[in-house]
Chain A
Amino acid sequence: KAGVTQTPRYLIKTRGQQVTLSCSPISGHRSVSWYQQTPGQGLQFLFEYFSETQRNKGNFPGRFSGRQFSNSRSEMNVSTLELGDSALYLCASSPEGGANEKLFFGSGTQLSVL
């Protein structure tokens, strides 16, 4: 069974641009969550999608958005990039997003904003 796949692996953008990251969950998993990891703040929850609907949202500005497709694949978008958006963006999937389900993480997309 293939794991969680995130593309691209690395991205370099400049301030003001926008970026779209992609995540394909494990087959059969319907919940996809996104996390941002930085050296200063650690791992922080961005949002969770289930059945094409955003179910939970962390404390990030509206420049961060996402969506989920009918095949459970998810994308997140960051508009008007800032230097502080440089981070490792991790996607995780689980079967139903239940409170006691283990999360399976992808290897992440490393975003650098210049």
Chain B
Amino acid sequence: KQEVTQIPAALSVPEGENLVLNCSFTDSAIYNLQWFRQDPGKGLTSLLLIQSSQREQTSGRLNASLDKSSGRSTLYIAASQPGDSATYLCAVKGGGADGLTFGKGTHLIIQP
């Protein structure tokens, strides 16, 4: 059974810092890995999707990497802003028929 772990569970940094969020998964047989953002009381917004054949994806200040063989992904946020404060969720799409498997998320606070 696929398990996804995100470290740290919570992170608070001053505005302007670069930061890295970590995600690990136990079964490397995946179609893709996705990073989402969730604001309080809201649904999820897809940030980046990395297919299993890719190593990284970039969108603006966000860069996500994938090392399938070691079961790891990182989300790099450059020049953090207070508007980046949210919970960031990592999810993998496995080869089975179970939809996405999510980690518990990293709660990020950017201090003005």
Which A residue's beta carbon lies closest to that of B32? Answer: A100
**Interface status of A26 (Cβ within 8 A of chain B):** no
Q: Are B102 and A104 in contact (CB under 8 A)?
A: no
A108 in contact with B97 given A42-B103, A42-B105 (CB within 8 Å):
no
* CA gap between A58 and B44 in the complex, in Å: 19
How far apart are A19's CB and chain B's nearest CB, in angstroms?
19
**Interface status of B34 (Cβ within 8 A of chain A):** yes
Which B residue's beta carbon lies closest to that of A57? Answer: B97
**Interface status of B29 (Cβ within 8 A of chain A):** no
A104 in contact with B103 given A43-B89, A56-B97, A99-B32 (CB within 8 Å):
no
Q: Give chain B residues whose Cβ lies under 8 Å from the Cβ of A4.
A: 43
Chain B interface secondary structure, helix, strand, loop or mixed? strand
How far apart are A58's CB and chain B's nearest CB, in angstroms?
6
Q: Are A102 and B99 in contact (CB under 8 A)?
A: no
**Interface status of A76 (Cβ within 8 A of chain B):** no
What is the number of residues of chain B that contact chain A, defined by CB distance less than 8 Å? Answer: 24
Q: Give chain A residues whose Cβ lies under 8 Å from the Cβ of B34.
A: 102-103
A45 in contact with B101 given A100-B49, A105-B44, A105-B45 (CB within 8 Å):
yes
* Contact among B42, B46, B98, B105 with A103 in the assembled complex (CB-CB below 8 Å): B46
* CA gap between A7 and B83 in the complex, in Å: 27
**Interface status of B81 (Cβ within 8 A of chain A):** no
* CA gap between A43 and B99 in the complex, in Å: 11
A residues 1-52 touching B (CB-CB < 8 Å) = 4, 6, 33, 35, 42-48
Which A residue's beta carbon lies closest to that of B102? Answer: A43
* CA gap between A61 and B111 in the complex, in Å: 43
Q: Pick 22 A–B contacts, CB within 8 A, sort by A.
A: A35-B100, A43-B89, A43-B91, A43-B100, A45-B98, A45-B101, A48-B99, A56-B98, A90-B43, A90-B44, A92-B44, A99-B31, A99-B32, A100-B49, A100-B51, A102-B34, A102-B49, A103-B46, A105-B44, A105-B45, A108-B42, A108-B43
